[in-house]
Chain A
């Protein structure tokens, strides 16, 4: 395989990996942007989404088939179910702590994460579940570079979801309310904005995006397990920070950048993939030293 084809293939790999990170990072970033909470349970919502999608697909694949005809309804169902779960989590675990110190909410988020993971562990017995679909390996070949249709649909879906989200947040009244809450919750209340409902909406959308990513990952990799949200949760958090946490285009950029870094990191001459994560996270540290607000983040003004 000539070098330029290798690099081209790694570019494709990085974009695909990055679009998963970006989808999960969006939820992180949205929630942080609005209520300044690092929702550590977010990665686990991705996992729950994968299982919800799997359950839905198993039920309907009898008549809808294991192709996109069955997958698309499964994704929609999973987004709805996990979106509602996200709202419930906010209502039960985060809303009562809205006025509490930030650290308490953070610990609660960790607890929710472990709760979800262990419930899934108990239900699945720790078994890896095969997510079988009828999607094949067919796709486009450019020399030895191979990109399957499934991969293209995945990246396409992520991009569409991100664009819709950005339009929603920047163009609608609800989006405006979210941005307003991010600036000053009390002022919003005085202006007649239903703060709790808007925050619930943020959780609904963020969780639904994580669920979409989870089902897509299940479809793409063909295997799901109770622990699948852990690593991607960390990576997505990293992506959100690189992009500038709180910024939607930033989360997208950060996710794609992290995916590319991982793909090309494997390719660094002289070292093996053993060092890949070392490079990725060393880059993160350096990056944050020189640009602590991330790519598109706004420097925070301390209000007293």
Chain B
């Protein structure tokens, strides 16, 4: 009896050791670093679905270099600490590359983890400009960065005759970065930022800030953090009697915003990377996604799908799973045909063009805004 227990324990130990040893699996494993828990989990799960779908399509066509791709999710939880843990785990599991990255604040510290291990990392959503400088050279951003968003925002404000602006952020890497960049760009034009506020994440009551905004009376309010708190802010701004323009950063492109903010979200603007439903090339993608997951794709699904496809393409071009060769292949990307548009990189590994669009809240959903100040128009 006792012997049996010891044998079983020894067996488990051997199995355990085999599990943590250097992974040399036959299949190509790709890490998917997305938040699958916490407040941003809905976005993360959308991204993971899209990455899995892309891998499935690649495998159906015979895989890459004759190998099947398998996806290993790593939960970044929109939290720097959790993200670093997830990244270290992916690296120790021997992934060939990583796709994903949602919250910039969480993605930022993982750059070093992947950099030290020379793991190619295709970032599909995070777009804080702080990522550019921190990039050790192995990361590639296929979402437009904060610089492009600021340009889009400033153009819209100008075209709508805005002179005075209030900017509100949550003090995290993503929202503070976007707020700072907007302030600098706006003041460079000779305009005024009459109010600059920082609120705490999860603080439900914004009434003191709302009162201050009504006192300063800006023509537009720009919220640069995420939708969950953004919905409360919009509601309290309207409830408090603020009637000016409200614009939101790209962390707010969620249908959930309309559930949480209700009628207050009508007429609100939101800057966003192109959501699948506004992309002509993404028609089959939407249909397949809907069929597979029984829900419409989220705002970052199309980019995540492209990210997986791009990485697979780079592995094919590199002709091996050598990580350095894959990084070199990614660097050479020239107009890769993604469903979100062609992908090429600047010398700093950021997307060579701006993909931002402006959305307008109308009858409880986001619609593409094509009025004055919309990108691509006059």
Contact = CB atoms under 8 A, between A and B. Distances in A.
A228 B208 CA distance: 19
B215 interface: yes
A1 interface: yes
A231 B208 contact: no
B41 A17 contact: no
Interface in A222-266: 222-223, 225, 227-228, 230-232, 262-266
B225 interface: no
Contacts of A230: 202
Given A6-B215, A146-B240, A127 B42 contact: yes
Contacts of B217: 1
Contact of A273 (B199, B202, B204, B238): B199
Nearest to A9: B211
Contacts of A17: 205, 207-208
B203 interface: yes
Nearest to B36: A126
Given A127-B41, A128-B260, A146-B241, A223 B228 contact: yes
Contacts of A223: 204, 228, 231-232, 260
Contacts of A225: 39, 202, 228
A35 interface: no
B375 interface: no
B31 to A, nearest CB: 21
Contact of A126 (B41, B200, B202): B41
B256 interface: yes
A: interface residue count bin: 35 or more
B262 A132 contact: yes
A130 B255 CA distance: 12
A300 interface: no
A222 B37 contact: no
Interface in A124-138: 125-128, 130, 132, 137
Interface stretch (B85-93, B190-198, B276-284): B190-198
A274 B170 CA distance: 9
A266 B209 contact: yes
A147 to B, nearest CB: 10
B259 A130 contact: yes
A276 interface: yes
A148 interface: yes
A263 B202 contact: no
Interface in A114-168: 121, 125-128, 130, 132, 137, 144, 146, 148
A243 B207 CA distance: 23
Contacts of B232: 221-223
Nearest to A7: B211
B207 A13 contact: yes
A10 interface: yes
A266 B98 CA distance: 43
Nearest to B44: A126
Nearest to B211: A9
Nearest to B254: A128
A265 B211 CA distance: 12
- Kindly name the residue among A126, A148, A266 whose own CB sees the greatest number of chain B CB atoms within 10 A: A126
Interface in A1-39: 1, 3, 6, 9-10, 13-14, 16-17, 20
A273 B196 CA distance: 8
A277 interface: yes
A263 to B, nearest CB: 4
A9 B241 CA distance: 12
B212 interface: yes
Contacts of A273: 197-199, 208-209, 212
The 10 residue pairs across chains A and B that have the minimum distance between CB atoms: A266-B208, A13-B207, A274-B198, A130-B259, A126-B41, A263-B208, A273-B197, A9-B211, A221-B204, A6-B215
8 contacts: A1-B215, A6-B212, A16-B207, A221-B232, A222-B260, A222-B262, A262-B208, A273-B198
Given A9-B211, A232-B204, 12 more contacts: A10-B211, A13-B207, A13-B210, A13-B211, A17-B208, A130-B260, A144-B241, A222-B261, A222-B262, A223-B228, A267-B208, A272-B196
Interface of B: 37-39, 41-42, 171, 195-200, 202-205, 207-212, 214-215, 217, 228, 231-232, 235, 238-241, 256, 259-262
